[in-house]
């Protein structure tokens, strides 16, 4: 007999998969289509009878651009069909009674791509191993979720409002799936981690989750309202509209909006205006940068686990063929564009810490720290001042693929226990050592979700205790200190 649950919107039928009950494609709000296209999420419409929840719903509308970082492997495996009718959640649970910890996952993808249905995020292993309820979710992406128009028809940060709606749905319905609404851990990687950090400081999300995990994204700065407005104006201009005719966006086909979004995103990178279609400081839902909000105590007392991989930007480095010819002058020019006149001192500090590294390796290290490691450390330091349950990790496991190393996203199949998903062995490796690290990572994340403690010393600015997770696992005080100190007073992403 297939498992069924009763929600406020109606009955659901899921599937029995070994010891788990799994429910896929559950609508947590109404479809954001028609007049709701750019508006805030609305409660789902009730249904009659028993609704089947055995198949993933469509992913959010996104461009079908796939980049092959590693032959035989796709970060986007499992996205499948896309649609603006995308706001669904998926649930893995060991039982429909009891009160288990709940893990809510927000996917990455630069706020332009991704879905809760991706193979890397299959919740089965975590649910079985930890006796927890795992929830993955879709939210609106790109211009559909983050259009900065000062117009009542367009919700500010609709994509973040979707994420809040997911948490509200979990608060209401976790118990129907055997979960504890009073023990919810919000987790995310990359754009998902940026979202977690933003929600830590958002008053509307207060009390909806009780622990937070930010993987490779905590502390990154969000665009200002002015930068978001410029993105919106560029999109309108690309579509032959202006603010007086912004209502025309409601009638445009999805593919036309996506094409314009891609073109504007390319222009923004070319013009280096430091923005994109992503969450922005709107003064209402999101009122401050994450680091500033955490430093002010917005999430005081809330357990926080954050970290990065050792070589984040290697994921993109392998795509830039010309980078292999980078010389000293090219390195100096790239770093100068990041930090201005401080470039010489920054390069010198990295060269002293890595005497055998050439220009390409030095650039990759500086780039990685600027984009991910230093923002995450600053967020961790800010929260450590208000929570004794703040923890740091550094993932150093190297990919078997040439030139990738411990790149962005390498920890995902270890944390989720999805090393056996399609092509993951080419990206993350396989064998006893990889399985042992997966067990170690899962046990730490699950312990944190259950108790607020992953099993190593808390992060304190005086010791900077960090769990290094790699071919060996050990607590290190202040890993890569010279590089960290070289960024004092300098801006990061």
Catalytic residue set: 190, 312, 408
> How do strand 88-93 and strand 20-27 relate by DSSP bridges?
antiparallel
Closest CA to 283 of 110, 159, 145, 150: 150
Distance of alpha carbon 243 from alpha carbon 247, whole angstroms: 8
> How do strand 133-137 and strand 179-189 relate by DSSP bridges?
unpaired
């Amino acid at each position: 007999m297939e498992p069924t649950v009763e929600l406020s919107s109606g009955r659901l039928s899921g599937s029995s998969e070994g010891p788990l009950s799994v429910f896929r494609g559950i609508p947590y709000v109404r479809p954001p289509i028609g007049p709701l296209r750019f508006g805030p999420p609305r409660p789902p419409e009730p249904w009659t009878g028993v609704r089947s929840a055995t198949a993933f719903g469509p992913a959010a509308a996104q461009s079908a651009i796939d980049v092959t970082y590693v032959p035989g492997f796709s970060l986007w495996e499992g996205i499948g069909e896309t649609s603006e009718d995308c706001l669904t959640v998926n649930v893995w649970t060991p039982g429909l009674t009891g009160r288990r910890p709940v893990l809510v996952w927000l996917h990455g993808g630069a706020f332009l791509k991704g879905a809760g249905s991706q193979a890397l995020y299959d919740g089965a292993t975590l649910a079985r191993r930890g006796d927890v309820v795992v929830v993955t979710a879709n939210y609106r992406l790109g211009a559909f979720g983050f259009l900065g128009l000062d117009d009542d028809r367009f919700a500010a940060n609709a994509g973040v409002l979707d994420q809040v709606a997911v948490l509200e749905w979990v608060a209401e319905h976790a118990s129907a799936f055997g979960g504890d609404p009073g023990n919810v851990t919000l987790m995310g990687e990359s754009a998902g981690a940026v979202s977690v950090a933003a929600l830590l400081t958002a008053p509307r999300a207060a009390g909806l989750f009780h622990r937070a995990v930010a993987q490779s994204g905590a502390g990154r700065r969000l665009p200002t309202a002015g930068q978001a407005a410029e993105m919106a104006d560029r999109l309108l201009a690309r579509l032959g509209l202006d603010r007086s005719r912004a209502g025309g966006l409601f009638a445009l086909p999805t593919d036309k909006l996506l094409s314009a979004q891609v073109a504007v995103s390319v222009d923004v990178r070319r013009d280096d205006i430091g923005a994109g279609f992503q969450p922005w400081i709107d003064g209402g839902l999101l009122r401050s940068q994450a680091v500033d909000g955490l430093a002010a105590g917005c999430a005081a007392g809330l357990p926080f686990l954050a970290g990065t991989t050792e070589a984040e930007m290697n994921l993109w480095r392998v795509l830039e063929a010309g980078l292999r010819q980078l010389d000293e002058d090219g390195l100096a020019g790239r770093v100068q564009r990041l930090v201005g006149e401080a470039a010489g001192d920054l390069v010198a500090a990295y060269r002293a810490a890595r005497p055998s590294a050439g220009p390409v390796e030095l650039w990759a290290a500086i780039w990685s720290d600027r984009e991910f490691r230093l923002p995450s450390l600053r967020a961790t330091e800010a929260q450590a001042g208000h929570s004794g349950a703040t923890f740091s990790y550094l993932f150093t496991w190297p990919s078997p693929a040439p030139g990738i190393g411990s790149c962005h996203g390498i920890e995902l199949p270890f944390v989720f226990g999805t090393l056996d998903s399609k092509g993951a062995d080419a990206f993350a490796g396989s064998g006893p050592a990889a399985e042992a690290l997966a067990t170690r990572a899962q046990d730490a994340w699950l312990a944190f979700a259950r108790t607020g403690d992953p099993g190593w010393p808390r992060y304190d600015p005086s010791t900077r205790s960090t769990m290094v997770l790699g071919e060996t696992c050990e607590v290190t005080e202040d890993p890569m200190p010279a590089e960290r100190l070289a960024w004092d007073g300098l801006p990061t992403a």
